[in-house]
Structure formats: structure tokens, C-alpha cells
Amino acid sequence: MIDGLLVGAVYGLAAMGLSLIWGVMDVINLTHGAMIALGMFGMYLFFTATAANPYVLLLPILAIGLLLGILVYWMAVHWVLGRSQLMSLLSTFSVNMMVIGIGTALWSTSPYNVNFTLKGITVGAYTFTGNHIAAACSALIIALLLELFLYRTRMGRAIRAVADNREAAELMGISSTAVLAIAFGIGIALALGSGALVSTLFPFTILSGAIYQLKSFVVTVLAGLGKPLGALAAGVLLGLLEGAVTPFIAVSWIPLIEFGLFVVVLILFPRGIFGRATA
Amino acid sequence: MKRVKIAVLLICVFLVSSVVAQQKLVIGFTVSKTGALNVDSLEQYRGFELWRDQTNAAGGIKAGGKSYQIELVNYDDESNSKRVQQLYTRMILQDKADFLFSPYSSSLTATAAVVTEQYGKIMLTSGAAEGKTYTLGNHFLYQMFAPGAEYFKGALDMLKAKDPKATVAFVYEDASFSVSVVNPAKDYAKQIGFNVGFSEAYPPNTTDFSAIIDKVISSKATVLLGGGHYADGSTLARQLEGHKVPLKMITLLVAPDSPQWVELGDAGLGVIVPSQWEPQVAFKAQYGPSGADFAKAYTAKYNTPPSYESAGGYACGLILQRAIEQAGGTDTAKVSAALNATDIVTFYGRTRFATEANQHGLQVGHAMILAQWQKDKTGKLVKQVVWPLAAKSADLKYPIH
Amino acid sequence: MIFKRPSFWLTFLLAAVFVYLPLRANDAALREDLILVAVAIILVSNLNLMIGYTGYVNFGHIVFYGLGGYVGLYLVSVRGWHLPSAAVAAGIFVSICALLFGLGVLRLRGAYFALATVGILVAVHAFVSNFDPWGRSTGMYLPFEAYEPLGGAMHALWVTYYLVIAVMTLSMILSLVIKRSKFGLGLFAIREDEDAAVVLGINATVYKAIIYSVSAFLPAVAGALMFYKNGMIDPSIAFEYMLSIEGIVMLMLGGQGTVIGAAMGAGLYERLRSYLLTSPRLSNFHLVIAGGLLLVVVLFASSGLIGWLYKFVPRSREVIE
């Protein structure tokens, strides 16, 4: 159960990026999975090169994520913003394919590992691995920092203003393009960060991001758009749900339950259970 | 006149030598150079390679007055069954392969078998223990590995002698190979009186075993059998260690046989693997090199000792070579008859194929060995043969912690 | 009426070429290449009914193909049915499933619908992976004797090829017939502005349900035929997410909403993909090139090749549709 809670925090972090972008610019970012996978490889490359503490290496990875996000924004998102939502789906998906293609060419689909182990905590017969605990704490810290950013800084407020009403924000002198680019960058940075944390927990390949992308969709739809802490909470909820259900049924039914849930929630609450942050 | 005679003589020599010249024998197979199966598949490929190099160096395969240079045609199947289908079709239709070897793993081999049977080509399979493929009514399949049903029998017999009251758990990959091992093993365990506390299959490519490990802990099992291939097996072993699960014996499929297992350090210590072949077991070879010679040549070429996948690969080549020699040529029907009649001991052990229509090609001569990772006097991790008792190189360490 | 449309005859010409070329040279390798193109055309033509005609983007289209494959293989290997009846039964079963799924997801609009179709694909994949009668993750294998009713494996491969060509022809004819019908006009109205269409008296719910179900039928039949040919099926090859998306790429490339465009996009892309995958240096770049192509089409040429053709040769609009 506790394992579920810990992993759930990482699901939540992954979902925060998706939720932010969706909430701010109504773009469903289908590069999300590939970016999570890039985070995994980023951590692997930095770790094998420097053997530094992975949780410290998170910082450069987040920074790279921000820059990468801004780049992707200019490549694929900016030009399709006015058009139908489907165009942004397709354009972000095309970037996804390109990233996965390059990743496969560089690293093939053989599994990789980040060989770093923190001592765990043992309670009775069960041991909670140190890596899981550290990952969950990191996710929580990042989420709190994001919340602070959005509500206490000028840029954060600008982002929320653009999310609320883009035209009004521009009338007030906010350069919406710059704001959107940065918001997108933050969303991607969060994806890379969550991937980096996952890499310390399990083996991965360039294709591993896909399952986290799908979980991110479930979480985002549960939490509603544009609310980072809501996404974190919903992520933890999903993790707990997985943990609660697995003692009773075989592990292989989990994806079915999650995606069944996803489709049902979408049908019953076409705008997310808690509604959208903007009109 | 004399010059003309010399010219005629030279022409005759030239003609004769071109008739006796080398023929080519094309053998096709795919290798999982990338993807989850890459570690195990590479070892099998090296077995094929070593056989080809040694045989070609000795003049090729000699049959029916001709000698054949072996040419291996291979592609990367990316551990993916769709690629296997496309590539085997390509090797048969475009590369004109005379014979095929299987890919690595039961599931990929079953896929390849569909294609080779459709086109009526002989395929020798290695790295594929699942028995179901041979019940589908084939004519040209030949299995080198002992079938899955044999894998855990020895481990369970060994356990029965040590600790008949143990609670057994099965945690295994939901794929043809592991399923073909675990289902008969479960029945056998119950038959000899064990309590099967827990049994669950995880989807292929699983990386997070925490949920299933928690269930193992709650079932109070003391012995775990299962796994699948290298990627999941090694991850499972690591996570069992990380969760400090109190197991007295762990037997995993395939993964612990790879030389790469030493990377796991303490997580790999004490783990047992059912093996098709180990260097310490010396069979008296009626054909081909001895076990010691094979291991030496392999280690010299690849800087790493051979695993049983490599031995299986090499043995594939040996058995095919012998069948071609016996058939006096490469005609499919004749070679097939020769393979059906095969009953021989090589460095690999005894090889004999079932010939009844409902299980044609199933391996019925080969027996399994059990190896365990133990620390030697210097503290290094080494693989020791612990079963059958007649062939053991060290005693079983039980419990492992 | 339909016989007056040039595209109708173009379709038959295409089918004739597909039949003739490999047969003349008895070239099994060419047949293997062409069958992949034919399957691409089937999938894309039927996808066009949802995306091009109705304006609903189905990201999980491949689920019909995979499910059709499972039903077909199950009927042939376990129940002993003959291939043609198994294939048709697969088509009917999957269409009914589509109707049921559709009742749920068709009330979603735009991107939410697209995401829900992905959810369906993943859910069906997970379900089949756990479903015992269909072999769970291992899948099902066809006993080799199943090819006997069609005259042995070699002959069966040719027969299957012809059946697939027939399905391809039917797919294109179906697209053409719908396009020229009143039902088709209703679909276009829904695509342009669904709310206005409803106000004008079109029962959008029924129309959408019908077309979603119809778009599932022929891909399911094709799936049954192809997996019979492949001799085996398992969840990972039946429900490949990437194939679904490549279907969209092919459709956008050729020109959504047009019959010939769908076929062209499918044909061109499939040849490109085959070339890339068998070229040792480029095989890893297949996805990069596909992604780049999609991005270029989305940003600059969302009407595809046919749209480009219409712009430069306006007369072609009447001939090529």
C-alpha cells in the first residue's frame, strides 16, 4: 500500500506537467511520454558520467527540460495554437515520434539501469526501498516549488492570467507568446524530472515513457486541468488505488482498470471531475 | 604439340578444381541485437558463429563428395515477433536460405516456425524450450533444448530432499516459455506433496515487481521459482533483495545462467538456474569437440565463458552438420530423414528427436542440470553444478541467507 | 450512378494491377510487399470515414484490426471454421463491439474523443492479455493443418492475398458510395458544424454510431485474413498503437476526405516504411522520418497531396475523389 503511495507521488509529478500545459493553453501534449523517457536517459547519462547523487542531478535535468520545452513550443505548438485542438494533438505527436525514433537509434530498445541504491526503511516484514522514499520526497518538493512559483511570482501570475483569458492578459501588456513558451517549458521540465526519478526505481527503455503518459492522462482527467497540487493528489490517489487493488487481483489487470476508469471518467465528466481551471 | 598438351592439361585441372570447388550453404536466423532479449540472444548467436568459424576453417561440411562453406545470414529481430515473420520470409524468399536456425526465445521461435513450415524448410531450434509448438503438426522442426516441462523437476526433487515442508511460490513471466515450465511444475509440486502458497504471472516487460513481491511476503512462502528471461529475471532478483524477502531458495529461469549475472552482486548470490548445459559436466562426445575444447575455444574468442545458450547454438550447428553428412547432401527430405534418425551424444549431451506426428521434433534425449551461484574461496561469485548429484561440482547451499 | 464516377473504375484498375503483378512472375516476395500496401489502404480508407468524412479523429483505429484478427483466428483454430466465414463473422462481431464502444465515447467531442479511443485501444489490449481462451499474453497459434482446406500453406497464402485485395476494393468502393450518398452529406454536415447539423434535423447520434461501426467492419475482416496468413496472434502485434497513428499520417499525407487520397497516402507511406525498415542504416530513422512528415503535413499541407493536386489542377477535383 505504502509502495503505491510513494510511486503515486511520482505519477502525480508526471501528470503536473501535462495538466499545466493543458490548462494554460488548451494543448494536449503528446510528447509527454517521450519527454519522460528523455528524463530517464538524462539521469542515466549524467549519473554514469559523474556518479553524483541523482537527486542533485535533478537540477540540471529540470533546466534542460525547460529549454527543451521552449524549443518544442516553437517547433510544433506555436503555429497550431489558433487551429483545432486536433492539430496540436497531431503536431505534438509528430515530435513524440521523432524523439522516440532518435532515442531508438541512439539507445535501442534494450533495458537500461541507473545503479544507485539508498538504504531502505524496514517495518516488520516489509521494506520500503530508499529510492522510492527519496523519489516521493523529491516529487513533493518540486510540486510545492511549482505552487509557490505560480502564486507568488510575477511570471507565475502572468501564466495564470494568460490561462484565464489570453486576450485580456495581452491587453494588460503581458506578452502571451513568451508566457506560453515558458509555461510549456515548465511542463516539459516536470516531465523530464519525473522520468529522472523513475529511472532510479526501475529499468527503462526509450519506450517506457508511454505507460507514464497514459497514467498522466488518467490523473489529469481525475484532477481537472491546471492545478498542480491537485494533480499530485490525484497521482497519489491512483498509486493508492493500484496498491489497494493488487492484493486481490493479478497485477496484469491493472492497466485495464486504469484505462477503463479513464474512459468512464471522460464520458461522465467530459471536462474532468473537478472541472477546468478556466472557462 | 607439347604446348597444346600443357594447355589442355591446365584447362582440365582448372575445370576439375572448379567442380570440386566450394559450394555454399546458406543458413538463416534472426538475432535479438536490440530489445529485451538481447543479452540471451547474443550468446546463442556466438554459438552459431563459433561453429561456423571452426567448421569452415576445417574445410566446411563434407557431404556427397562436395564440401560446403557455411554462410550465416542474420538480421536483428528487435525481440519483436512481427519482425521475425517478415525477416524469416525474407531469408527464405530473397536470401535463399537452405536451412534455418531459430531466433532466441520460445515465443519468437513459434512465430518463425509458422513461416518455415509454410515454405517447407527445415529449422533447428535452440533457446526455445516450449513444447506446444511441436504439437501443431509440423514436418521440419527440430528442438535442441529439453522441453519446458523438465525445467523445475530437478529443483523440486532437490527441495523435497532438503525441506519437504517448504511453502513454494511461483512468480513468472506471462509468456509461452515460462508458462510451459511453470504449469507442469505446479502440478508436479502438488503431486510430490508441496504446499503451493502463491502463484502469479506478470506481464512481459514488467519492471515494477513491488506489488507481486508484497504478495509473496504475505503468503509466507520460503521458496520462489519462476522468472522468464534476463531482463525481468535480473530485475526481480534485485527487487527481492531490495525488499529483503526472507526466502530460503530462489530458482529463476535463464537469467542467472548469463555471465552478466555477476553484476548483481549480492542480489545474485545463491540463485539457482535450471540449465541445458554447464562447462563442469563432461559428456563423452561421440561427434564434435569435447566440452572442455568447446569452452576453451569460446572463451578464447569472446573473452567470456560460454552459457548454455551458446552451447545450444553450437550444438544446433553440429547436429545439422552431422545430418547433412549422413544424408550425403542438402536435400530437405533426405536431411529431414537423417535428423529423424539422430540419436547421438555430443559435448552438449544426448540428442534425440520425437518422430510421432503429434510431437514431431520435440527433444526427448536431453536432460537438465541445476547450477547455483556461490562464493568461491576468494569471495568471487561462481556458478557451481548442484544437480544431478552424480555430476555436481559443489553442494547445494540451502538456505541461501 | 456510381459507375459514372472515374474513381470507381480507377479502384478496379488498382485491384487488377495488384492481382496481376505478382501472379505473372509467380513472385512471392512481391506479393508479400503488396499485401502490406493493400492492408494499409484498407485501414486508411476506413479511417477516412471517421476522420475525413465525419471529422472525428480515431486514434485507436487499429483495435478493430486486432480484435478481428483474434476473433478470426479463434474461430478457425479452436472452432474449426473455414476462413471466409470466420473473417465475415469477425467483421460482424467487431462492428457490434464498435457500436457498443461508440455509444459510450461518441458523445465526447474533438480531442477528448481522440483520447478516449486511445483508452479503448489500451483497455482492449489489457483485457485480451488477460483473457484465457485467447491465450493471454502468449496469444494463439494456428495448427499447420488449418491451411489444408485452402490447399496447403503455399496455396493458402495466395488465396488470402486475393481475399485481401477484394477487401481493399470493397473499402474504396464503400468510401465512394458513402461520399456520394445522402448519408455522406449528413456526415459532412456533422464535420462542418455538428450543432448546426442537429438543428437542421440530422440525427447526429445515430449517424455517428453507424459510421463508427461501419468503419470497423472491413478492417476487422482484413485482420482475420492477415492473422490467418501470419499463423499466429498475440496482444503486442495485434494492438500496435504506433500503427494506428501511422494510419493517421497516411491519411493526412494523401488527403483526408478523398477516396484516392487515402489510397495514395497509404501506398506511398507503406513503400517508404518498407524501404526504411529493411535498409540497415536507416531502419532506426523510420519513426523520425514519419514524425517529420506528419509535422510538415500538419503545419503546411493539411489537405495532403490530393489537396495540393486540386490546387494546381482544378479540373482533377471532378475526376479524382
Sign, Cα dihedral of B313, B114, C67, C51: positive
Please check whether residue A19 lies inside any domain of the structure. yes
Q: Is C138 on the interface with B (CB under 8 A)?
A: yes
Please give the full DSSP string across B280-341, using - where no structure is assigned: T-----SSS--HHHHHHHHHHHHSS---HHHHHHHHHHHHHHHHHHHHTS--HHHHHHHHHT
CA A268 to chain centre: 24
Mean confidence (pLDDT) of chain C:
88
Distances (CA, A) of A193 to A116, A142, A235, B254: 17, 9, 15, 34
Distances (CA, A) of B270 to A198, B16, B228: 29, 61, 18
Q: Is A211 on the interface with C (CB under 8 A)?
A: no
- How far is Cα C232 from Cα B114, in angstroms, rounded to an integer? 8
Q: Is C151 on the interface with A (CB under 8 A)?
A: no
Give the up-direction half-sphere exposure of residue B393: CA atoms within 13 A in the CB hemisphere: 16
Work out the pLDDT band at A244, boundaries 50, 70, 90: confident
Q: Does the domain at residues B150-275+369-391 carry the CATH identifier 3.40.640.10?
A: no
- How far is Cα C293 from Cα B61, in angstroms, rounded to an integer? 50
Is residue A227 within 8 A of residue A277, CB to CB? The reply is: yes
Q: Is the pLDDT of residue A154 over 50?
A: yes
pLDDT for C202 = 87
pLDDT for C287 = 81
Q: Is the pLDDT of residue C272 over 70?
A: yes
Number of domains in chain A: 1
Q: Does the distance separating the beta carbons of C232 and B111 come in below 8 Å?
A: yes
Please check whether residue A97 lies inside any domain of the structure. yes
Is residue C35 within 8 A of residue C266, CB to CB? The reply is: no
Distances (CA, A) of B223 to B92, B237, B275: 46, 13, 19
Q: Is A74 on the interface with B (CB under 8 A)?
A: no
Low-confidence winner among A252-256, B13-17, C11-15, C188-192 (lowest mean pLDDT): B13-17
Is-cis flag, bond preceding B399, omega within 30?
Answer: yes
Contacts of B200 in chain A (CB under 8 A): 250-251
Contacts of A36 in chain B (CB under 8 A): none
**Grid cell locating A37:** 523517457
- How far is Cα C71 from Cα C220, in angstroms, rounded to an integer? 9
Q: What angle do CA C212, C294, C109 make, to 5 degrees?
A: 35
Pick the CATH number of B23-146+281-359 from 3.20.20.370, 1.10.3720.10, 3.40.50.2300, 3.30.70.260: 3.40.50.2300
State the residue range of the domain holding A107.
2-112+132-268
Q: Number of CB pairs < 8 Å for A and B?
A: 69
Please check whether residue A123 lies inside any domain of the structure. no
Is residue B50 within 8 A of residue B298, CB to CB? The reply is: yes
Q: In percent, how much of chain C has pLDDT > 70?
A: 98
**Grid cell locating A122:** 524496514
For residue A143, the tally of other CB atoms under 10 A from its CB is 21
Work out the pLDDT band at A279, boundaries 50, 70, 90: very low
- How far is Cα C285 from Cα C273, in angstroms, rounded to an integer? 10
The residue ranking higher by pLDDT, A108 or B275, is B275
Is residue C241 within 8 A of residue C286, CB to CB? The reply is: no
- Prediction pTM value: 0.86
Encode chain B (401 residues) as per-residue pLDDT tens digits: 677 777 666 665 655 554 555 789 999 999 998 888 888 899 999 999 999 999 999 999 999 889 999 999 998 888 888 888 888 998 999 899 999 999 999 989 999 999 999 999 999 999 999 888 999 889 999 999 999 988 999 899 999 988 888 899 999 998 888 999 999 999 999 999 999 989 999 988 888 888 889 889 989 999 999 999 888 999 999 999 888 899 999 999 999 988 889 888 889 999 999 999 998 888 889 999 999 999 999 999 999 999 999 999 999 999 999 999 999 999 999 999 999 999 999 999 999 999 998 999 999 999 899 999 999 888 888 999 998 888 888 888 888 87
Q: Which residue has the cell 442537429?
A: C198
For residue B277, the tally of other CB atoms under 10 A from its CB is 29
- How far is Cα C279 from Cα C316, in angstroms, rounded to an integer? 36
- How far is Cα B117 from Cα C152, in angstroms, rounded to an integer? 11
Q: Does the distance separating the beta carbons of B211 and A126 come in below 8 Å?
A: no
Selected residues 230-249 of chain C with any CB under 8 Å from a CB in chain B: 230-232, 234, 236-237, 240
User: Measuring CA to CA, which residue among B116, B159, B152 is closest to residue B136?
Assistant: B116
Is residue B31 within 8 A of residue B74, CB to CB? The reply is: yes
Selected residues 95-134 of chain B with any CB under 8 Å from a CB in chain C: 107, 110-111, 114-115, 117-120, 132-133
Distance from CA of C54 to the nearest CA of A (A): 14
Please check whether residue A126 lies inside any domain of the structure. no
Angle between helices C83-105 and C62-77 (to 10 degrees): 140
Distances (CA, A) of B269 to B40, B153, B373, C187: 20, 22, 5, 65
Distances (CA, A) of C131 to A142, A255, A259, C28, C101: 40, 14, 17, 35, 19
> What are the backbone dihedrals phi and psi of residue B170, each rounded to the nearest 5 degrees, phi first?
-115, 120
Is residue B30 within 8 A of residue B77, CB to CB? The reply is: yes
Please check whether residue A118 lies inside any domain of the structure. no
Burial C276-285 (b: 16+ CB within 10 A, else e): beeeeeebbb
A139: domain CATH number? 1.10.3470
Domains of chain C: 2-319 (1.10.3470)
Looking at chain B, the domain(s) classified CATH 3.40.50.2300 span: 23-146+281-359, 150-275+369-391
User: Measuring CA to CA, which residue among A14, A18, A16 is closest to residue A30?
Assistant: A18
ipTM value: 0.82
Strands of chain C, DSSP E: 140-141, 232-233
Q: Which residue has the cell 452529406?
A: C185
pLDDT digits (tens, 9 = 90+) for C210-232: 999 999 999 999 999 999 998 88
Please check whether residue A186 lies inside any domain of the structure. yes
- How far is Cα C237 from Cα C69, in angstroms, rounded to an integer? 10
User: Measuring CA to CA, which residue among B238, B280, B235, B286 is closest to residue B372?
Assistant: B280
- How far is Cα C56 from Cα A85, in angstroms, rounded to an integer? 12
Q: Is A81 on the interface with C (CB under 8 A)?
A: no
User: Measuring CA to CA, which residue among B255, A214, B114 is closest to residue C139?
Assistant: B114
- How far is Cα B212 from Cα A238, in angstroms, rounded to an integer? 17
The residue ranking higher by pLDDT, A214 or C165, is C165
